[in-house]
Structure 1
Amino acid sequence: MRERIIAAAVACDYAALQTLGDEKGKAVRFSYDPDQDMATTWRIQEEWAEAPQPVLSRLVQVLNLPFYQEGNLIYWPTAFREGATDADWRALKGLYPDDQLKAMRKDKSYLGLRVGITVDGDWQLAVAGD
């Protein structure tokens, strides 16, 4: 599933991402607009004239970072876990502006994009924030 998400994101194939999110049941839990599907929300964020967000690029970057498993879920990145190490935080370099990462680290709380996929390949979440 991870490789398929990366391939769809690199191709900017929003429809494929939506299909992957719905493949094994209820859609992926994602941040932002609960009244829209994930693909539409991400397309709007990517194309937002005032402040476009690199959602798909960030998704690919996150899924290429180290991961950890908690129960049945595999999570990216490791900086989200309790007791994240210096290496976990260093791995985030370039994902967000340095000042934003520094603030998150100071608060000991990674609030950036995190992805969760079950061990049997069900894409469960792609969320940012609390």
Structure 2
Amino acid sequence: MIKRKILAFIWTTIISAPIIGLFFMLIEGSTIRDVPSLIAFTSMYAIPVTLLFGVPVSILSDKMNNHFDGNKRVFFSLIVHLIFGTSFVVLFMLILDSRFILTDFNGFDSYFVVASTLISFIGWGMDEILRIYFRGNQKT
């Protein structure tokens, strides 16, 4: 399981950094030349958070959903990943800001919510793909 989680983390960061960089480019109205710096900025924050928060959430999701099978496990795993991915941003804003999130939500916060949601979705997808891959290799 640990090998699968580390591989899911690596692939999640490789896939999500360019996607979020391009997404930020579209939001800000930047040019394509700004994408490498946006990817570097995104990676600077996303990689440690994904490693220190995302991998434990993925392990927790496996522990919480191990009694489900098939599509039900996949669905509840997605829900757990998205809830924890979004809650990280909410907790981050509560800790660092003195404003109330529900009434003082600004555009800058949407960057983090979108990035966190995309990364948690991609992380969930990579974990599910690797789960299928490792299960197929165990049978042969």
TM-score (norm 2): 0.32
Point out the structure with max Rg over C-alpha. Answer: 2
Compare the two structures and name the one with the higher strand fraction: 1
